[in-house]
Chain A
Amino acid sequence: MGLSGIEIFKKLPKTNCGKCGVPTCLAFAMKLATGKAELDACPDLSEDVKEELGEASAPPVRTVVIGTGEQAIKLGGETVLFRHEKRFENPPAFTLLLSDKMDEAEISAKLTKFKETAYERVGIVLRPAMVAVKGESKDTSGFMALVEKVCNDTDAALVLMNEDTDALSQAAKSCSNRKPLIYAATSENVETLGSLARELSCPLAVKGNSLEELAEISEKLIKMGVKDLILDSGARTAGKSLEDQIIIRRSALMKKFKPFGFPTIVFPCEMTDNPMKEAMIACQMVAKYGSIIILSEIEGHSIFPLLLASMNIFTDPQRPMAVEQKIYEIGATDENSPVLITGNFSLTYFIVSGEVDTSRVPSYLLIKDTEGLSVLTAWAAGKFGADTIAPFVKKCGIEEKVKHRKLVIPGYLATISGELEEELPDWEILIGPREASHLPAYLKQLKIED
């Protein structure tokens, strides 16, 4: 961010060698400026220039990775205050809190739930991301045993929490190969934990009792050369937390204030004893800038809506979500079930399939690839006309599944029904309602058998 293509161009070798995959250095500079190319693609840059340009082109909120391998969690990298300005980059990591004060049965039950909780939606798997292991008893061996148990039990990325710096250091060293987040550097232990994080190459959380203190510690750590920080402003009420999160994000974006240019960690689990309320506070933080959200429990009825909220807020607003082109069977379908067709914009699919479900009339829903466009937009763009619908209906296999030949098309496509009947001579084209909400009434009166 920040540097223009021309400013970047001045630093490039100007050889136009083409090794980066782009014919000229100027073209490469333009791509760099818009984030569409990587600096490393140029083989002739000196390390100094790389560092200079890298820093200037880095997002104002640093991207921090916790964990390793497939379970690694990427946070931050944010460049905007509002999702409609561009998009939010990395969804929050919902993190289960386990404490050495809990008994073994509770820990095992919570871990099991954590591991089995995963939902597939529009081809994306949604799940809680990390486990936080907190040492609260004075007993280091108990804490270490819990860390070991969690390490053995799950590959998930970890947050290690302990106010006892020695115990925390010992735990971090024991599993540093998994790149856990060390929680947390405070005014009292900043030197010790800063050195530790640098030595182990682990990300480090910073906790202040105010934004001022947070900035001071963070600045100290940056000077020490610790690169991957996670910020905790110490706020433990919903209102204060909202304020702090907004100030941190704005400082990073609007003022390029380095001490706040990092992802954050928030603790709904410490703000209430009511699990329902805890979920509401967590939801607030999904929308307003929490990166690691620590929860006291993972229960389907609260984590599922939270994951939905996170998916909604972090969807790229410039790219419509699409579902797979295929036949969707809703309910116990048979050879006499109605056949409906619509486009593959995910929202269209969710709403139409939901209404069909509500009707309790088992039906086949044909979803045709319209590149994620809604029905009318797709039709206008030439992606949902008779010429493309007909071959899809013939090839998708629905003719083997039903013995009738009646196809319900969206009401908004009424004008193509004649054309579609010509392209699909065996089929009778029925015009469905314009609005999905009228589908249940429509399906209930629909007569398939003559």
Chain B
Amino acid sequence: MTIEIPKIAYAGKIKEIPLGRGENIITVGGESCCPFHLFEGAMPHPPKIAMEVYDRAPEDWPDTALEPFADVAGDPVAWARKCVDTYGAEMIALQLASTDPNAEDTPADEAAAITKKVSDAVEVPLFVFGSSSVDKDTEVLKAVCEACEGKNLIIGPLAEGNYRAIGATAIGYQHTVMASTPIDINLAKQLNILLGNLNVPDDKIIIDPTTGALGYGLEYCYSVMERIRTAALVQEDERLQFPIIANFAKEVWKTKEVRLSEMEAPLLGDQKKRGILIEAMTAQCVLLAGADILVMRHPEAINLVKESIQDLMIRGES
């Protein structure tokens, strides 16, 4: 009996976006099929992982997450180098958490100086995240754009309330932007239209649809990603044909379940393995929903996910 594979006709294609610059450019996107559906389309650039670096020594991380970075915490340059040299990071995601007005409220120029140092210290593409405070991010990310002119950083989140100011600055200094909206396909599309109206070039936009952790709203993010991806490929919705980033490590590592020790919750098993698997499985789910870039923390979770991407990129024999 011959099996005729019921194929889906994909009329659309995800745009290819070059990240970073020079010899170290990494291209993401370019898919012409649903994630890993290699029997009916192509995925020329397998998903990539950006390793998190923080601008300050983390205060509230469980030891299991801090342990790999204990020697570099508080020194973002050393931290970023360790990610590249020791853990082979393909890309770095600098989280400017200390700029949060509810935290240290680090001023914009200081944050820009830190970012500049990190961007000078590593060659790989650099993502820079503000604290998601609309007004503060405007100041911080504008300063970052200026300080790192021409480096094609990927900066965000650009939200409804600040996309104009940051977007315009990003174009001026030749950076890529992450358009961030709260788990809603229509809002995501709307912001991409607005960025287009602002003349942000199409090869400078990444969609950040917001990602929660496994057990903490992941189902909403998963479905929004699947809808964005199918709308882009099947309905040919041109303003959704951008690569998707999933920034979930910070959500995963603050959940109760990664913090409980095995003593406190024996049925939850080994605390370290549990945290690693919650992070890695969150990644596994969003990969299958359509994420192109994952922002991750634990080196062992990253290794598991890298292996998973490799395995899914092989159609294989049974």
Q: Across the interface, which residues of B come within 8 angstroms of A251, CB to CB?
A: 3, 6
Q: Across the interface, which residues of B come within 8 angstroms of A354, CB to CB?
A: 216, 254-256
Assess whether A312 is in contact with B218, with CB atoms less than 8 Å apart.
Answer: yes
Assess whether B3 is in contact with A300, with CB atoms less than 8 Å apart.
Answer: no
Q: Across the interface, which residues of A come within 8 angstroms of B227, CB to CB?
A: 82, 84
Given contacts A299-B270, A300-B267, contact A351 B216 (CB under 8 A): yes
Given contacts A82-B230, A283-B285, A350-B215, contact A300 B268 (CB under 8 A): yes
Assess whether B6 is in contact with A243, with CB atoms less than 8 Å apart.
Answer: no
Give Cα distance in the complex from A304 to B276, angstroms.
Answer: 12
Interface bits A210-248 vs B (CB < 8 Å: 1, else 0):
111001100100000000000001111111101110110
B281 at interface, CB cutoff 8 A = yes
Assess whether A247 is in contact with B3, with CB atoms less than 8 Å apart.
Answer: yes
CB neighbors of B among A266-324 (8 A): 276-277, 279-281, 283-284, 287-288, 299-306, 308-309, 311-313, 315, 317
Q: Across the interface, which residues of A come within 8 angstroms of B308, CB to CB?
A: 238, 277, 280-281, 284
Interface bits B237-271 vs A (CB < 8 Å: 1, else 0):
00000000000000000111101000001111111
Assess whether A306 is in contact with B311, with CB atoms less than 8 Å apart.
Answer: no
Query: Which of A118, A209, A304, A438 is B102 in contact with, Cβ under 8 Å?
Result: A438
Assess whether B307 is in contact with A277, with CB atoms less than 8 Å apart.
Answer: yes
Residue of B nearest to A300 (CB): B269
Give Cα distance in the complex from A352 to B281, angstroms.
Answer: 23
Assess whether A254 is in contact with B6, with CB atoms less than 8 Å apart.
Answer: yes
B274 at interface, CB cutoff 8 A = yes
CB neighbors of B among A40-90 (8 A): 82-84
A250 at interface, CB cutoff 8 A = yes
Q: Across the interface, which residues of B come within 8 angstroms of A288, CB to CB?
A: 288
B23 at interface, CB cutoff 8 A = no
Interface bits B174-186 vs A (CB < 8 Å: 1, else 0):
0000000000000
CB neighbors of B among A9-47 (8 A): none
Among B13-21, B36-44, B47-55, B67-75, the stretch that binds chain A is B36-44
Give Cα distance in the complex from A304 to B39, angstroms.
Answer: 32
Assess whether B257 is in contact with A280, with CB atoms less than 8 Å apart.
Answer: no
Q: Which interface residue of A83, A312, A438 has the most chain B CB atoms within 10 A?
A: A312
Assess whether B257 is in contact with A304, with CB atoms less than 8 Å apart.
Answer: yes
* Interface size in chain A (residues, C-beta < 8 A): 69
Assess whether B312 is in contact with A239, with CB atoms less than 8 Å apart.
Answer: yes
Query: Which of B6, B270, B273, B288 is A247 in contact with, Cβ under 8 Å?
Result: B6
Q: Can you spell out 29 A-B residue pairs with CB atoms less than 8 angstroms apart?
A: A83-B219, A83-B223, A119-B267, A237-B318, A238-B316, A243-B38, A243-B315, A250-B6, A277-B304, A280-B305, A287-B285, A287-B288, A302-B277, A304-B269, A304-B274, A305-B214, A305-B215, A305-B274, A305-B281, A309-B285, A312-B214, A347-B212, A347-B217, A355-B254, A357-B256, A438-B102, A440-B60, A441-B102, A441-B103
| Shortest beta-carbon contacts, A-B, top 7 | A300-B269, A301-B269, A301-B274, A238-B311, A308-B215, A237-B316, A312-B219
Task: Give residues in A with beta carbon < 8 Å to B.
Answer: 82-84, 116-119, 121, 209-212, 215-216, 219, 233-240, 242-244, 246-247, 250-251, 254-255, 259, 276-277, 279-281, 283-284, 287-288, 299-306, 308-309, 311-313, 315, 317, 347, 350-351, 353-355, 357-358, 433, 438, 440-441
A84-B226, A311-B215 are known; give 20 further A-B pairs, CB within 8 A.
A121-B215, A212-B3, A216-B1, A219-B1, A234-B318, A239-B313, A250-B5, A279-B277, A280-B277, A281-B308, A281-B311, A287-B284, A300-B265, A301-B271, A301-B273, A304-B267, A312-B214, A312-B219, A317-B223, A354-B254
Task: Give residues in B with beta carbon < 8 Å to A.
Answer: 1-6, 36-39, 60, 102-103, 212, 214-220, 222-223, 226-227, 230, 254-257, 259, 265-271, 273-274, 276-278, 280-281, 284-285, 288-289, 300, 304-305, 307-308, 311-318
